[in-house]
Structure 1
Amino acid sequence: MRVKGTRTGAIVVSAVMGTVVLSGCGGDGESEAKGSDASQSASGSDGAREQGTTKVRAAYDKTAEAESARMAIRMKLSAEGKTITSDGKGAIDLAEGDSVMKVTAQGESIEQRVVDQVLYQKSPDQKAPGGKSWIKIDLKKVAAQQGLSNQQIGDPAQTAAYSKAITDKDVKKVGTEKIDGVNTTHYKVTVDVSKLPGGDRMSQQLGPTLPMQVWLDDEGRLRQQQIDMTLEAPASASAKPDNSASSNQLKMSTVMQFSDFGTEVDAEAPPAEQVTDMTGQALKDGNKQG
């Protein structure tokens, strides 16, 4: 596997994962009723586990009630012995998924906006093709190419599919921790990838399950969420027959934090005359890597 377009590629993944991860904890807050012949103590344990599942499923709805928040994203990509890191800070509209951020990747700072499922980026150090200030990538088209649904990319309020992919046995309470000075409860969550939209294709790259960790505050809102995943490249992506298995893997760790709920989010698309559409190039690069 080759890491191509590292600067933009890493940031695009951050933008996409932002909504995917946030959607992963949403739902209607309902847990499935289950019969049990276990002992009273086991039933108590099951009840606590089910309660944790209910809280995790309801986390996005609780968070969305605040309408907006400040957001920080830290991401690390590793492949072929190389590591790419990016850090982003900004604000997000929790209902619509629009956001404004400043992202630093490989020593460069980039202004980034997501508006109506379209990603816009501006680098102060270089012009986009055609001498324009901004580039844009249509995340809906990128999602379609990757076999993802629109709800995973641009509509974080639609989270029913993720809720169904999380069962009682997939949620474990780790303990209590402070995140940015706020008391939180830490849970480990396992998602059944096959139950997600586009799950068959996702399973080929991610495996059968997707591990997540979430930290919820006393109001049940997301304060931090982390995904550590390993993506498997197709065998044909390896140029050398003697490459080790690890050379066909891309490891990605994404940590998102939320604070200052209710903050103002001013996410507007740049003037059209200042924007170069790079969606076609992004799709072309995606085909090469896939």
Structure 2
Amino acid sequence: MNAAELAGFLRTRRARVRPVDVGLDHTGRRQTRGLRREEVAGRAGVSVDYYIRLEQGRRLRPSRQVLVALARALQLSDDECNYMLGLVGEAALPAPSSRRTEAGALRLLDRLDDLPALVLNARYDILAWNAMAVALMGDLAAVPERERNTLRWLFSGQARGIGPHDRAQLGRRCVADLRSTGRYPDDPEVRHLVHELALESREFAALWERHEIGVNRAMTKRMLHPVVGPLELDCELLTIPDSDQRLMLYTAAPGTATYRALRGLRESAGERLTC
């Protein structure tokens, strides 16, 4: 823990907040620039003595809950709050969950005309896709928005073309990845999805109770495509900055049967788009 850095950070941020910004009476003369220490402590729900010792650089190691409360009291941005959490060895706040895909990710999807690509959020909702993803997986636009979720597909038997063993392995990895986001139970949408899947699938419920943690960054997916046959795809998951979303790319090593099959899918996708 860097107590001296935390102390200096708190002092400068306290001086930055005007009383009027937090609904305090700003009439009369104030000798303190910004908020008083007792005002910060009161807004954060900690004792004045405890807060004073933090600003003095005492090695107290405040809890995550206290730091988040101080961040609210001092009107810190998420980046500033994460910086403060990092000073005491705490993990950063999860990026805000959103169904709106960043414009940069959409532009990237458009340029990836030779590879299937998807944008997923932390819940495994499919938010956006390119033409090659349609050639690989079918018309995603025809699927109701609520059902465009890969976890629902895996645990409801809708994951077409994936064998039982591969589906089970993929399901286990995805459940561990969902756990690792740290969004359960604080994120209501993640909590709702977990509750729903646990009721509908004994397999999901059993996997969730294992409390396994594992971040998906790369995996191999085997599937049987109705047109080009067996595929063995390398899946890469790339984080989209400042969001809970990731870009999933499907690739294959040059010279392999899957590589040739993807080229065939690209040609067929191009023909449909020009018709």
Higher relative strand content = 1
Give TM-score, length-normalised by structure 1: 0.25
Give TM-score, length-normalised by structure 2: 0.26
Structure of higher RCO (CA pairs closer than 8 Å, 6+ residues apart): 1
Structure possessing the higher radius of gyration over alpha carbons: 2
Higher relative helix content = 2
